[in-house]
């Protein structure tokens, strides 16, 4: 791999910011790519891939450099050493020690020891394969916006713009890029013909079984990826109430809805319990895409494993319980609710549903559960459970 010195310097600065200053890799990469508009496509790709790869394999690279991960000091000099090891690995992997297979799983797959123990405890024999899959680079999936296009029409339009895709047999709404390209600059994107959304994520909205004309509440809407998918399935007929505690995310949702040609979404910022009470008993369907550890999307956000903690996962489990108990009352009698996460841990998934059902005996019934494993698909890891409420 031949890289120009300014690109290497940008990699050095990014890695220091991520590991020394606690910055997020995705944000750093986004800022740098916007700042360096004169970089060519090759330079931009090499920069982004190098930063993400070093973050992904951080512990292993430190080990290969002969250092102790637990006491490694992040400096410009030490980061340069790690990058040098990485560039050798990328160009001539045969030059690296051949005994990597003898390292512990945590060292080999480059995760903290506590996360390895937790994963093994919760997932057993499935853990090593799943962990390995989560270290593979993620593919780019698109979700067609059926309000403006169709799968084959979108594929043909992208072809004319130099973007080649394949249909994804397991996901009716999805195309996958044959090679990584910037699709955000295409006319197809600017006209709202598609959204970027992982194939696994595209399986969550259909789980809710929405129909045109329904009233649907997306209670943790964020920037609205699944909200827009629900609107598509509903043929832009009915009402979707998108709730979130962050106004800036809802602002982004509104912008995306305009581009997608969606007019049935109302947004509301949640500031207190009273805000929830305004919507009690009003919804045919409720989506709870709850805050979680994000361990199912490590391929896209590898720095999560260095930032999350076991204590944070326990805190999130309590929050997930609170959200389930606070929001299921938004449903009308015989309504349905989907609880979803981008986590692979049963403690954030099945165990939260089991706990919720114990607290709401004779009211809640589990209709369907899905677990999307990166080891069995090429998607990110997701969990979804559809519950019916009789009250």
Q: How many residues are there in the chain?
A: 391
Pseudo-torsion of CA 180, 28, 218, 315, nearest 10°? 120
Confidence of residue 100 (pLDDT cuts 50, 70, 90): confident
- Indicate if the pLDDT at residue 102 is higher than 90: no
**Which class is domain 141-196?**
alpha beta
Per domain, the residue ranges of the chain are 5-103, 141-196, 201-389
- Indicate if the pLDDT at residue 99 is higher than 90: no
Please give the average per-residue pLDDT across 214-218, as a whole number: 98
Confidence of residue 240 (pLDDT cuts 50, 70, 90): very high
- Indicate if the pLDDT at residue 96 is higher than 70: no
Where is average pLDDT lowest: 61-70, 125-134, 368-377? 61-70
Contact 331, 337 (CB under 8 A): yes
73: CB partners within 8 A, 6+ apart: none
- Indicate if the pLDDT at residue 391 is higher than 70: no
Please give the average per-residue pLDDT across 316-323, as a whole number: 98
Nearest to 19 by CA among 68, 67, 69, 66: 69
Distance CA 60, CA 108 (A): 6
pLDDT (0 to 100) of residue 98 = 60
Q: Say which of 11, 220, 292, 342 is annotated catalytic.
A: 342
pLDDT tens per residue, range 26-47: 999 999 999 998 899 899 999 9
Nearest to 296 by CA among 261, 344, 240: 344
Distance CA 301, CA 181 (A): 18
CATH architecture for segment(s) 201-389: 3-Layer(aba) Sandwich (3.40)
Active site residue 292: no
pLDDT (0 to 100) of residue 133 = 97
Kindly report the average pLDDT of the chain as a whole number.
Answer: 95
Confidence of residue 300 (pLDDT cuts 50, 70, 90): very high
pLDDT tens per residue, range 134-147: 999 899 999 999 99
Please give the average per-residue pLDDT across 283-294, as a whole number: 98
Compute φ and ψ for 285, nearest 5 degrees.
-140, 145
pLDDT (0 to 100) of residue 72 = 94
Where is average pLDDT lowest: 93-107, 113-127, 286-300? 93-107
Distance CA 194, CA 23 (A): 30
pLDDT tens per residue, range 150-202: 999 999 999 999 999 999 999 999 999 999 888 999 999 999 999 999 999 99
Confidence of residue 218 (pLDDT cuts 50, 70, 90): very high
pLDDT (0 to 100) of residue 343 = 98
pLDDT (0 to 100) of residue 95 = 66
Confidence of residue 273 (pLDDT cuts 50, 70, 90): confident
């Amino acid at each position: 791999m031949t890289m120009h010195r300014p690109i290497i310097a940008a990699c050095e600065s990014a890695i220091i910011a991520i590991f020394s200053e606690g910055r997020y890799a995705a944000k750093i990469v986004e800022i740098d790519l916007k700042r360096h508009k004169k970089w060519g496509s090759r330079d931009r790709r090499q920069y982004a891939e190098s930063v993400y790869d070093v973050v992904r394999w951080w512990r292993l690279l430190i080990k290969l450099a002969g250092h102790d991960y637990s006491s490694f000091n992040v400096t410009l000099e030490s980061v340069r050493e790690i990058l040098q090891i990485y560039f050798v690995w990328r160009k001539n992997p045969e030059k690296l020690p051949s005994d990597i297979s003898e390292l512990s799983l945590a060292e080999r797959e480059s995760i903290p020891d506590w996360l390895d123990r937790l994963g093994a405890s919760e997932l057993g024999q499935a853990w090593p394969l799943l962990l390995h899959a989560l270290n593979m680079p993620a593919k780019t999936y698109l979700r067609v916006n059926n309000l403006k296009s169709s799968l084959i029409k979108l594929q043909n339009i992208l072809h004319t713009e130099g973007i080649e895709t394949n249909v994804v047999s397991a996901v009716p709404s999805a195309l996958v890029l044959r090679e990584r390209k910037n699709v955000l600059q295409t006319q197809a994107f600017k006209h709202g013909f598609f959204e970027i959304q992982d194939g696994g994520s595209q399986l969550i909205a259909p789980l809710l079984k929405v129909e045109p004309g329904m009233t649907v509440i997306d209670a943790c809407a964020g920037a609205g990826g699944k909200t827009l998918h629900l609107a598509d399935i509903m043929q832009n007929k009915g009402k979707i109430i998108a709730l979130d505690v962050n106004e800036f995310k809802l602002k982004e949702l509104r912008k995306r809805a305009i581009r997608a040609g969606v007019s049935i979404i109302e947004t509301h910022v949640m500031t207190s319990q009273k805000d929830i009470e305004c919507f009690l008993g009003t919804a045919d369907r409720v989506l709870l895409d709850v805050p979680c550890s994000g361990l199912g999307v490590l391929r896209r956000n590898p720095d999560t494993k260095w930032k999350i903690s076991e204590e944070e996962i326990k805190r999130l489990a309590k929050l997930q319980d609170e959200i389930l108990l606070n929001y299921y009352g938004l449903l009308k009698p015989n309504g349905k609710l989907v609880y979803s996460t981008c986590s692979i841990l049963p403690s954030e998934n099945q165990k939260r549903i089991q706990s919720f059902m114990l607290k709401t005996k004779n009211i809640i019934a589990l209709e369907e559960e899905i677990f999307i494993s990166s080891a069995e698909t090429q998607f990110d890891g997701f969990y979804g459970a559809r519950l019916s409420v009789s009250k």
